[in-house]
Structure 1
Amino acid sequence: MTNLRDLNLQGKRTLVRVDFNVPMNDRGDITDDLRIRMALPTLEYLIGQNAKIILCSHMGRPKGKRAMEFSLAPVAVHLSQLLHKAVPLAPDCIGPEVEKMVVQVQNGELLLLENLRFHAEEEKNDPEFSRQLAALAEVYVNDAFAVSHRAHASVVGVTPHFAARAPGLLLQKEIDYFHRAIDNPARPLVALIGGAKVSGKLQALENMLARVDRLILGGAMANTFLKSQGFDVGASKVEDDLLDSARNLLRRAAERKVKVYLPVDVIAADSFAPDAVSMAVTIQDIPKGWLALDIGPASVQCFREALADAKTIVWNGPMGAFEMDAFSRGTMAMAHEVAAAHALSVTGGGDSNAAIEKSGEADNISYMSTGGGAFLELMEGKELPGIKALQ
């Protein structure tokens, strides 16, 4: 795969796929600009190389229709402020009017195309739409890791039209950190996996068994594993159809001599509400009809010991319903432990990163991945279409 720094970008029209799908409030104000800020190193490099920069992104789910509540106009304004440079917004992402604006872009200047998903052809990876989009430029750069698991036109379909193509600095960083953490880790490698469902992470768990030295399981998904071992988890969220899968995974872990850590106690509550009655109980003593909503203090201590000598930590998914303060202590404690570890720490997934931000430990994590689904697919051992297309 060609490195961005090896490309001749001087005066070249460069199509850059970014992920500017940022959250906005009802007034159209951006409430979290992290994804925009993460793209700045690539954009500043391209500006310094005197490239003619054509940015393309999606926003939300307009379902192939021109729904202006999903316009990238607020992003153009915000990006202009961050770069201290005008970033005009094109009225569309293809078509004669866009082509005229592209021709007028000068060296070191930028143009942001309107939402790609105003065209249903983007998500369908339509060949003609891909051709028209690619015709706007001479060089292609993918800097949108978060959508690189999608075989969409702007991610995959355009690439055959470019002899010069490369990952952006952000995408390259994602690839490099994942390789260091999973493919060639310093050991012991410990994976910390949480979240709501086993079903969404079963394939990742299966693949990681062959790579990790220890596996820590928390969140609601741990309930399925606990029930598979005969524990009564009350009214807690459980995927009963995956009890056999959970049992089999624990059996294979034992065969591989991978130590699996499950909660030994939980914060149980009589309802899922901020004012619920809650208490710490062992997993043997969850009251009938109550819910396990966080790992308990003994589990935190157990998991802390599992992380103590780790050299590499991969974290995906919170340990409990951290959005509610009453059930956030387990996740916050693990964020502090991961941050304090003398290890390469890589986290992925929106909930994991949100929890780390909430804990105040973001600056102490080696790398926080920008992609939830894409990060999980790499953990599953899959090759991402967007990365494969650059090779």
Structure 2
Amino acid sequence: MKILTKIFIGIFIFIIIYFSFNALTTNPNLLNESDSLTYHIPIAESILKGNILNPPNLSHGLGFYPAVGEVILSIFILLGIPLGFFNIVAIIILFFVLKILSDEYGINKYVSNIFSVSVITLNSIIRLIPNQTIDIWLLIFFSLALLFIKKFENEKLKSLLPLGLSLGLIIGVKYSGLVYLLILFLVYFKVIFKKINIKNLIYLFLPILTIGGFWYFRNYLLINNPFYPINILGFTGSSDFQLVETYKPLLTSNGLYLFVEALISEYLIWVLIPIFLFISKSKINKSLIVISVLNFIPFLFFPSDFSRQIITSNMRFLYVSIMPLILLCFISVENTKFEKLLYILSLLSSISILSQFNYYPKLILFWLTIFILIYTNHKK
């Protein structure tokens, strides 16, 4: 198990080194990722200029999006850090958050490393690392919320302030965070409010209203629509913000085919999770299943179209649905005869994504990773 864990850690280190090299040798304009250039970077630059209360006038009203992620991005701009490191920092944070989360669910320290790297090496996550999109950060905040809920349930956390902070970040990073917040409250209502008092109510809701709610209050004051540019709940959105909900392409045979194709290409073996859960015959954590299923529902209403590129790109909206399922899978197969099989398949899945990296500098950086692992092991 120790050797297998070191292989996973080696893969993780290699990914960090590889994308760090890319971050130092490329820039957003060279990569030409649409969302990063269209609104993530412009919003961050606007915030840096002190225009947090005066969103930039971007196409489709995108400047009014909640901007916790762009606040973080603006710090990179302020410090002169290459923007390619934005999501490199994110996956490093995500690794440790997932590791602590899995520890809290009773997974041993070696397997928790395997779980964390397995999530980070999802093809859909790897695709976003060079960009300045904020979906990985949303997964971080969602994972933190699950962690603090579990700690509160295990009576290792007496204050709801950390949970309030993570929930505030969730709704402050994307509009969809509001739905995820409601889902977390729905599924874990008894856990969160079992020992509630005035102090914990303040700790819980003050960060939600300030960190997350700020962006909605700002939009309402500026344009009478807290969810601008979206037309929703009777609020008038931007006239050029047109949505084609994801479920509409899925109702066509070609759209459904493209969805299944994208799901397999972006999540590889993890589309087999239901089979693992069925054959393991272990006690299933129902809350994680419910969270995963409920988090899938909003995905059906996210903007999409009928193209392969967009449908594949939209697989990133499933992070908060897939991650709990992967966690559940690791929990369920532990100490069963399928445990080693899961780890081997996880390894194959993690290794397979390396094939898409450029041959140069992949080979050099691979050997650099090997050297680092040998050196650190020798030092120990």
TM-score in terms of structure 1 length: 0.25
**Structure richer in strand, relative to its length:** 1
Structure with greater contact order relative to length (CA < 8 Å, sep ≥ 6): 2
**Structure richer in helix, relative to its length:** 2
Whose Rg is larger? 1
